[in-house]
Amino acid sequence: RLSLVFFDIDNFKDFNSIHGHSTGNAVLVSVVDRVRGCVRGIDLFARYGGEEFVIVLPETPPGEAATIAERVRSTIESLTVPSPGNDTRLSVTVSVGVSSLGSGYADFQGMLEAANTAERRAKETGRNRVVAAESFTGSTR
């Protein structure tokens, strides 16, 4: 089985616009460092664009993929980065979508689109959560 995790840093534009691009860069580096500790040697973790990332999970059934996605979400939720100019720390969260090949998706592109749609659903329903594409129907299949 092949599964995919697609996630986006919540409110990332605020890190850049309010706290400066150096803070935004620190958030990106910190997120990458944390996620590296969540993935296995066989997984492929990559920046998809901007503040979006994907993790390709070979040999991973849907339930295990959801567990990995939740581990990524909770690991990042515990992350804070220093706020420039004062002693406060900024919280970081992510919205996560997960999908699996063979769960109604004929190819990798379909699986990627489904995970992206699930990630958007996570944002729309409150952010800082994991949504499995298989948990809803419609344009994701």
Q: List per-residue pLDDT tens for the chain, 141 residues long.
A: 899 999 999 999 999 999 999 999 999 999 999 999 999 999 999 999 999 999 999 999 999 999 999 999 999 999 999 887 778 899 999 999 999 987 677 789 999 999 999 999 999 999 999 999 987 644 433
Contacts of 78 (CB under 8 A, 6+ apart): none
One DSSP character per residue, 103-115 reads: SS--SHHHHHHHH
CA proximity to 102, closest of 90, 114, 92, 93: 114
Q: Are strands 52-58 and 80-82 parallel, antiparallel or unpaired?
A: unpaired
One DSSP character per residue, 73-122 reads: HHHHHT-EEEPTTSS-EEE--EEEEEEETTSS--SHHHHHHHHHHHHHHH
Q: What is the pLDDT of residue 135?
A: 76
Q: What is the pLDDT of residue 134?
A: 84
Three-state SS at 32:
helix
Structural domains for the chain? 2-135 (3.30.70.270)
| pTM score over 0.85 | yes
Q: What is the pLDDT of residue 17?
A: 94
Q: Could you list the active site residues? A: 51
CA proximity to 132, closest of 5, 2, 18, 1: 5
Taking residue 66's Cβ as centre, other Cβ atoms within 10 Å add up to 21
Q: What is the pLDDT of residue 87?
A: 84
